[in-house]
Amino acid sequence: MPRTQWSNKRERQYQHIKAGLLERGRKEDTAEEIAARVVNKERARSGEAEHGSALSREDLSSGRRGGLRSHSGAAGRTYAQLYQEARRRGLRGRSSMNKAQLQRALAH
């Protein structure tokens, strides 16, 4: 990847993302590619890059996209997460509810 144009901040960002991906078991080549893509997209969004696709400039930032996806998993929040939210809100009858019932009750 042509990283000679990256600022120190972007180089640190690249290293941080790459390290995180390696910790999660990604292969080195894959981690490098993903990290470079994220950094290049952020450069395009902030106007640091000479070229960037319209999608890179206008789409959600990588951090925001990850934040939105982090709790959705295959079926959304876990039963334990829903139960804790119900407990925090003081929802009555929560101990006898199943996951779907907790989801409906918390949606209101």
Same domain, yes or no: 20 and 54: yes
Same domain, yes or no: 65 and 92: no
Tokens of 15: 């290293």
Asked whether residue 50 is domain-assigned, the answer is yes
| Dist. CA 63–CA 84, nearest whole Å | 26
The pLDDT value given to residue 75: 61
Same domain, yes or no: 25 and 63: yes
At residue 14 the predicted structure's pLDDT band, cuts being 50, 70 and 90, is: very high
58 or 33: which leads in pLDDT? 33
Q: What is the DSSP string of 65-98?
A: HHHHHTTTTTTSS-HHHHHHHHHHHT-TTGGG--
| pLDDT tens-place string over residues 34-92 | 999 888 888 888 778 777 677 666 677 767 766 666 655 556 788 888 999 999 999 99
Asked whether residue 36 is domain-assigned, the answer is yes
The pLDDT value given to residue 1: 46
| pLDDT tens-place string over residues 19-29 | 999 998 999 99
Same domain, yes or no: 34 and 57: yes
Enter the pTM of the model. 0.52
Asked whether residue 2 is domain-assigned, the answer is no
